[in-house]
Structure 1
Amino acid sequence: MKIKVDQIEFNILIDEKNYKEEKTPIIFLHGFTGCAEDWLFIFDKLPSEYYPIAIDLIGHGLTDSPDDPNYYTCRAIVNQLNYIFESLKIHKLILCGYSMGGRAALSYCLHYPQKIIASIFESTTAGIEDITIKKERVISDFLLAEKIREEGIESFIDYWMNNPLFKTQKEIPEYELIKKKKYKNSVIGLSNLLMGFSTGLMPSYWDKINQLEFPVLLITGSLDEKYTSISKRMKEKLKNAEHKIAESCGHNVHLEKPDVFIKFVLDFLNNKKRKQYELQLD
């Protein structure tokens, strides 16, 4: 399915034939260099009362990659998501995001908390607080954007996947196929995303996440010490959150340990606190 937002065509994975208004939509947002198809593994594992939808974020997959960097800012991405939800007549939803997609999901939740039933943040940060570190991250991401434009997609993906953060993914049997699928992304899309939605440019939400009252599930891998530490801190600040850690797993839990990820999500969806909150929204 395609939806146009400001003349930008977004690719949406959605099973229109089985859609029913009484079902609760769960929106899945992929990480940097990923795509909506990354979430297909969980679509048929969800309870019948839920309805999965996955979106190719701007600059990724089959969604357009416009030249204008203004389409890639945090606020622009939040607006794009909201337009898509309104086009699909979605007024209440569960939002699930991984890494960059988690940052986009968190940003949306803080702008439209009244629309959120619950959220799932996998390997997600609430931003960078220290101004010096923020500036360093912006410079680093701008250099990466330049690297993509100078060397091309394949060279950049090979470099990106050698990041220690993704070391454990190399043990996956389908690793080479996963990497080759990332080659399909565009130079313009990835470079503009780095320049517009860098973690350094994203607002720091650490002093705002305590405003969120809906249930939140935080998921990290035990081998990803950085994001496990971040999620532990987020749990302390959030009003209604739980943190699940996948053992012997790195940054991308849903890719490395899909069965574990599915169990975490299903247990969360069955949680009485979430169901009670949903009833309150009704």
Structure 2
Amino acid sequence: MVTNDKIVHISTWEIVKLHFFSFAYGLYLIVKRFLKWAWDPTRFFMMQQRDKPPPCLVDNNLGTHSYVKIKSIKFHYVEAGDKDKPLILLLHGFPDCWLSWREQIPCLAEHYRVVAIDLKGFGDSDKPSTKRSYKIEILIEELRQFILSLGVKQCSIIGHDLGGLLGWYLVALHGDMIYKFVIISCPHPNFYWNRMPGDSVFDSKWIHFSRLPFLPEIDALKEDLSIINDTFQHLQLDQTNTGKNYVEAYKYAFSRKEDWTGAINYYRNLPFIRLNTESSEQIYTRTLFIIGNMDPLITIESIVQSSEYVEKFSVKIVSGAQHFPHQQKPDVVNKAILKFFMGTTNIIEKTPSKSIMSSWLGSLSNTVKYSNHMFDTVHKKTSGVVNGLPSKVLYLGQTTS
């Protein structure tokens, strides 16, 4: 069933497969969690009371905290920079909030008006519990209205993970409103769900599990929100108290069951839709992909596939970064973003350069299979820039960094 000329539902067979995977992986994780609970039941249900927000969530050092109601939904956002300058809207990922952009806001605010929003279901924004509230048409219309409520008709977007996914839909459906688009750790919606298998926190097994009712919320709260510890390991490596304070801020933001229901509802809806690339035009919004070369969730193949639907794009590989390059390597990411926004149009590359492609192949720490079609696509879009590559690449072995 087509909901609009650019958004389509997946086939009945694919829906059946998704429900099967939800049941299968759900059963697998339930058994796994049960064994863990049986081994140490006290620790499994341990939960620290968190009634007071950490200072970093509520102070005004990074910007002014404000609220606006869009179609009866309250949105919280943090704003910095001159209101007369071009607007950049920051869309965080999962599980996250506006604080995700703490390293980008001061840097960007020197040159732009910056707004970091708490997406619906996250942070201090409203968290409706019904799954219907998170249908893509509703989400995108609310974001469109939010942009207009800021008194502008056009802005640029930087989106990470889930925020990048919403950014893709915004650009596809309301491209006239988006001047430039920066995507961090997020492929095109049609490839977003092709996550790497393995033991990552939010790998394909957990994504399938998340579509079940009730159980994912309970799982997220186990062991005093150990899921937050696992997601933000890079913050816990901080030898100062700063990283620990941010981890506590995230735990406060996700300390209740209802803090997870809204956020997980995105994953109960969005896997069942795609962008109709057959009938829709290419995306002409100038786009920058930023990915960490050690990302455990995103494949290089998905980035190559995504580029096929974008007319003008650049790619920045962040060495030594995983799924949160804007937090793990903020200086590198900020420099790339500013160059993209402030440079002239001839800086924007049509396709990845040789050095980028070399970085892809040399830095990849996961086994990836490429089809000939993928490389034919890259060759076509690069006008021969990958001539140095073999015509057929079937296997990339693991490498050490």
Cα pair distance change 1:3/1:47, threshold 3 Å: closer
Cα pair distance change 1:114/1:5, threshold 3 Å: same
3-state SS in 2 of match to 1:201? helix
- Equivalent-residue separation in structure 2 for 1:274 and 1:59 (angstroms): 39
Find the counterpart in structure 1 of residue 345 from structure 2.
Answer: 273
- Equivalent-residue separation in structure 1 for 2:112 and 2:193 (angstroms): 41
1:236-275 alignment, distance < 5 Å: 236-273=308-345
3-state SS in 1 of match to 2:107? coil
Q: CA deviation at 1:187?
A: 2.2
- Equivalent-residue separation in structure 1 for 2:149 and 2:137 (angstroms): 18
**Deviation readout 1:187-237 (Å, 9 max, x if unpaired):** 224223323445852533383786111210000001116425122332243
1:157-176 alignment, distance < 5 Å: 157-159=225-227, 161-162=229-230, 170-173=236-239, 174-176=242-244
TM-score normalized by structure 2?
0.59
Find the counterpart in structure 2 of residue 279 from structure 1.
Answer: none
Q: CA deviation at 1:54?
A: 0.7
Find the counterpart in structure 2 of residue 201 from structure 1.
Answer: 271
**Deviation readout 1:220-276 (Å, 9 max, x if unpaired):** 001116425122332243110011010011010011111111011011112311899
Compute the RMSD of aligned alpha carbons. Answer: 3.2
Find the counterpart in structure 1 of residue 177 from structure 2.
Answer: 115
- Equivalent-residue separation in structure 2 for 1:129 and 1:42 (angstroms): 27
Cα pair distance change 1:157/1:212, threshold 3 Å: farther
Between Structure 1 and Structure 2, how many residues are aligned? 269
3-state SS in 1 of match to 2:127? coil
Find the counterpart in structure 2 of residue 96 from structure 1.
Answer: 158
**Deviation readout 1:65-93 (Å, 9 max, x if unpaired):** 12222222222211111111111122111
Cα pair distance change 1:75/1:270, threshold 3 Å: same
- Equivalent-residue separation in structure 2 for 1:152 and 1:227 (angstroms): 22
Query: Is the Cα–Cα contact under 8 Å of residues 95 and 105 in structure 1 kept in the other structure?
Result: yes
**Runs of 5+ in structure 1 lacking a partner?**
277-282
- Pick one of 19, 39, 53 that aligns with 2:83: 19
State the structure with bigger RCO (CA 8 A, min sep 6), 1 or 2.
1
3-state SS in 1 of match to 2:108? coil
- Equivalent-residue separation in structure 2 for 1:131 and 1:262 (angstroms): 27
Find the counterpart in structure 1 of residue 248 from structure 2.
Answer: 180
Cα pair distance change 1:65/1:154, threshold 3 Å: farther
Find the counterpart in structure 1 of residue 112 from structure 2.
Answer: 50
TM-score normalized by structure 1?
0.82
Task: Report which stretch shifted further, 249-258 or 34-43.
Answer: 34-43
3-state SS in 2 of match to 1:46? helix
**Runs of 5+ in structure 2 lacking a partner?**
1-65, 196-203, 349-401
> In the alignment, residue 171 of structure 1 is paired with which amino acid?
L
Cα pair distance change 1:199/1:97, threshold 3 Å: farther
Find the counterpart in structure 2 of residue 221 from structure 1.
Answer: 292
Task: Report which stretch shifted further, 6-15 or 26-35.
Answer: 6-15
- Equivalent-residue separation in structure 2 for 1:132 and 1:106 (angstroms): 16
Query: Is the Cα–Cα contact under 8 Å of residues 123 and 228 in structure 1 kept in the other structure?
Result: no
Task: Report which stretch shifted further, 119-128 or 222-231.
Answer: 222-231
3-state SS in 2 of match to 1:27? strand
Q: CA deviation at 1:126?
A: 1.6
3-state SS in 2 of match to 1:269? helix
